[in-house]
Structure 1
Amino acid sequence: MTLLLGLPACDRKQRLVEQAAAQAAMQAAIAEDAAKQAEAAFDGALAQQNWALAKAQADVLLAQYPETETAARVRKQFDAVAARAEAAREQSRTAALWSYNREPVQGGTQLSASIYAKDEVDVDGSGATPVRLIFRDHPAWGKSAYLVLQAGDFDCYGGCKVQVEVDAAAPKAMAASRPKTDEAIAMFIEDERGLWRMTRGAKLLQIRFPTRAVGSKTAVFEVGGLDRAQLPGWD
């Protein structure tokens, strides 16, 4: 009799277990289906090589559906996609540091590419100010590369040497000169093509130059985003 009375209770428990399992399976199937839709968006971004969007899609998928088989597939690709997204973001950031100009002048068009130093530099003891590097192509004056200060002055009127360092490479001495003009506080690097070539594949370009007031100073330029096509004929 005791066994007979216990059967209905056992059946109810079994049915509850089966119902819970069925509900869990249904929820898992719904999650898997939603994850597959998110994966399709992820794959679409990959096909377009839109790494930032692909990473964003992966972030959402892995956060919302972490236990799905789809998430396991995407997770295997995540580190590589995240690295490419960061590289693309950095390339976009460094590209925005450069300014390009096309200016009609007598005899044709003057082209230039310029960038400000990563950090301002105290060149006269009065406080840090911007330092600018300019590559210029003029139809009459030819190609030039020079630094421009907004305060102080270069100690290079009779010619001098600057130390140029690319990333972790050893510094290279390059000839420079400060023209006798009040139009701008400019110092020209004599081997402008050599300086231009040094920027190829570089991330950081450091130029250590002499000042009249506070000795030698260093300006650091993040040159990795240079669009070399803006100055044709330099490479």
Structure 2
Amino acid sequence: MNLRIRSIPCIALLATAVGAAALSGCGDREAAEAARAAAQAAANEQAAKEYADGFDDAVGREDWALAKAQGDVLFARFPGTEQAERIRPRYEEVKAKAADEREHARAAALWSYQSEDVKGGKQLSAAIYSKDPVDTDGSGANPVRLIFRDHPTWGTSSYLVLQAGDFACRGGCRVKVTVDDADPKSMAALRPDTDEAIAMFINDERGLWRMLKDAKQVSVEFPVKAGGTRTATFEVAGLDRSKLPGWD
């Protein structure tokens, strides 16, 4: 009987020791988890710094596309890092500039330029197709082309070219030219009395050229032989005006 009574404190001490060991083990696990988290955070910051430094370098060189790409990866892979927060205020500006750069490149690619050796010197031209095809004779839609030409003998000219149908402008007519959201301007035009090409000159080529400066798009409404008028719209913002020197 006395032996059982004396055993109680020993059991209690044993339970206390086991509990302390358990608490000690739990604390060790928490400390280990905290250490691993801290190490991972430090590794993330280090990896994020490479992209943030790449972002800074690209911004310094005004390479907006690369800067945006560096920022995109940084925010996708390491969104919660200090490095991500550091570049965030500049990122929106960079993203906008990269978009503007892409749009400028797209608009510039719409134009084609030629320089040809002809009698008397060189013929220079700048040409662009309409934004959307136009049905000019009821047989289906086709692109309309706008061309500016500088010829050593024939001089300067601007004209539209159709792939199908014809202009109702032999002997002269008027076309309406609209620049962006401005009011339409009436301009004199002429369909040459020839069947070599389906072309119609806009007589004031210098005036039309000047209208394109700083414009995003230009629309030309013209009469067609099939009846009525059609409108061709050109995205002109990417025009390299230096390709026709002396026109400005």
Deviation by residue 1:25-44 (Cα, 9 ceiling, x = unmatched): 11000000010011111122
Map of 2:129 onto structure 1: 116
Map of 1:228 onto structure 2: 241
1:151 partnered with 2:164: yes
Contact between 1:125 and 1:214, CA under 8 Å: does it hold in 2?
A: no
Helix, strand or coil at the partner of 1:26: helix
CA distance in 1, matches of 2:204, 2:165: 24
Map of 1:75 onto structure 2: 88
1:27 partnered with 2:56: no
Q: CA deviation at 1:75?
A: 2.2
Map of 2:189 onto structure 1: 176
CA distance in 2, matches of 1:103, 1:211: 31
Map of 1:86 onto structure 2: 99
Q: CA deviation at 1:48?
A: 2.1
1:101 partnered with 2:114: yes
For 1:55, which of 62, 65, 68 is the aligned residue? 68
Helix, strand or coil at the partner of 1:80: helix
Q: What letter corresponds to residue 153 of structure 2 in structure 1?
A: A
Map of 1:43 onto structure 2: 56
Deviation by residue 1:137-157 (Cα, 9 ceiling, x = unmatched): 111111101001111111111
Q: What letter corresponds to residue 154 of structure 1 in structure 2?
A: F
Normalized against structure 2, the TM-score is what? 0.91
Map of 1:190 onto structure 2: 203
Helix, strand or coil at the partner of 1:179: coil
Contact between 1:136 and 1:143, CA under 8 Å: does it hold in 2?
A: yes
Compare 41-50 and 31-40 and name the one that shifted more.
41-50
CA distance in 1, matches of 2:193, 2:168: 12
Q: What letter corresponds to residue 216 of structure 1 in structure 2?
A: T
Backbone CA RMSD of aligned residues? 1.2
Helix, strand or coil at the partner of 1:164: strand
Deviation by residue 1:101-129 (Cα, 9 ceiling, x = unmatched): 00111111110000010111111111111
CA distance in 2, matches of 1:146, 1:73: 53
Q: CA deviation at 1:4?
A: 4.6
CA distance in 1, matches of 2:194, 2:230: 22
Deviation by residue 1:4-27 (Cα, 9 ceiling, x = unmatched): 542222222112111111110110
1:12 partnered with 2:25: yes
Map of 1:139 onto structure 2: 152
Map of 2:177 onto structure 1: 164
CA distance in 2, matches of 1:144, 1:48: 40
1:213 partnered with 2:221: no
Q: CA deviation at 1:82?
A: 1.3
Q: What letter corresponds to residue 192 of structure 2 in structure 1?
A: P
Map of 2:7 onto structure 1: none
Q: CA deviation at 1:219?
A: 0.3
Helix, strand or coil at the partner of 2:44: helix
CA distance in 1, matches of 2:181, 2:89: 33
**Identical pairs, percent:** 59
Compare 12-21 and 107-116 and name the one that shifted more.
12-21
Could you list the runs of 5+ residues in structure 1 that have no partner in the other structure?
none
State which structure, 1 or 2, has the greater radius of gyration over its C-alpha atoms: 2
CA distance in 1, matches of 2:113, 2:92: 35
